[in-house]
Structure 1
């Protein structure tokens, strides 16, 4: 006879009985009126709206933890990528944060990049590129604004301006030289 593991086995039906929130509610009401079914719904939207607004700016977040290697992928629909391990990928995102132990190799088009570890490849930071004192960035780099702390390293093909700004700036000098 096989013995079920309590972590992955089925629960007994009586274990699924929900806790009664109404047992705790009479202590919270100072008017002495027993809670009705409408009382929890009246307070629920207020309680749920505060956490919702604080989590909206975060959006979807992917964290590649320490000692994890993620290789050969395309990362899409990710608002924030936190790299604490190693990532070899292409991505289009809003924010990338590379920790001191983290490394990213590949191509990234993002709004804001915060580099404390290593980035090598093609990086387009549409708004801002921040290279902290421990950060190393190499390859083809384009940025809107650039901040490099003392000790931060940047090497390779580096251009100011991103995306549409670069596309608009290039044809004019090329056509002027051709004419």
Structure 2
């Protein structure tokens, strides 16, 4: 039978500090005198540890597909921001998509805001603002609310002003294009 180091109430100093130390008010704070005690160790729920350790992005949930990663044949939903640095072949309905210079997205996307530095190929519906930067290339069927194309950016295919829900309205005939310099 092994004898533990705390046998007969002997305390062995710990070599590593406790993970979460919460200072507790001592009795001397309230005017009483009590022998000093060890700091209280409080178990923190996993959800609050994740919130404390990872900064929360203002947009909420964020999915990053890193460089040299290929994500194929998926449906992305309930994602506030999708950052594409690799290759994604998917359908998505989210809030924001950001495609980096080396990133590529192929498929169908219905989103609020798109920032394209790389390549997009497929059906793209942008409810609010589509921004194509100098290194960006968008091909396919595109519906947009507002459009900004930086000098050098490319847009090819069937292009319509207004989102799919607004496609039936006469607003499709209006020009919503602005060129960035």
Q: Counting helix residues as a fraction of each chain, which structure ranks higher?
A: 1
Which SS does the other structure have where 2:165 is aligned? helix
Alpha-carbon separation, structure 2, partners of 1:85 and 1:127: 25
Tell me what 1:109 maps to.
Answer: 110
Tell me what 1:43 maps to.
Answer: none
Alpha-carbon separation, structure 1, partners of 2:19 and 2:69: 38
Moved runs in structure 1, 4+ residues, more than 6 A?
none
Tell me what 2:98 maps to.
Answer: 97
* Deviation sequence 1:135-177 (CA, Å, 0-9, x none): 000000010000000000000000011122112349xxxxxxx
Alpha-carbon separation, structure 1, partners of 2:73 and 2:21: 48
The alpha-carbon distance between structure 1 residues 98 and 56, as it changes in their structure 2 partners (threshold 3 A), is closer
Tell me what 1:164 maps to.
Answer: 165
Tell me what 1:63 maps to.
Answer: 64
Tell me what 1:7 maps to.
Answer: none
Please give the TM-score of this superposition, normalised by the length of structure 2.
0.66
Which SS does the other structure have where 1:107 is aligned? strand
Any unmatched runs of 5+ in structure 2?
1-13, 31-51, 172-181
Q: Tell me the CA shift for residue 67 of structure 1.
A: 0.3
Tell me what 2:142 maps to.
Answer: 141
Please give the TM-score of this superposition, normalised by the length of structure 1.
0.67
Larger radius of gyration: 2
Q: Tell me the CA shift for residue 21 of structure 1.
A: 3.7
Which SS does the other structure have where 2:59 is aligned? coil
The alpha-carbon distance between structure 1 residues 17 and 55, as it changes in their structure 2 partners (threshold 3 A), is closer
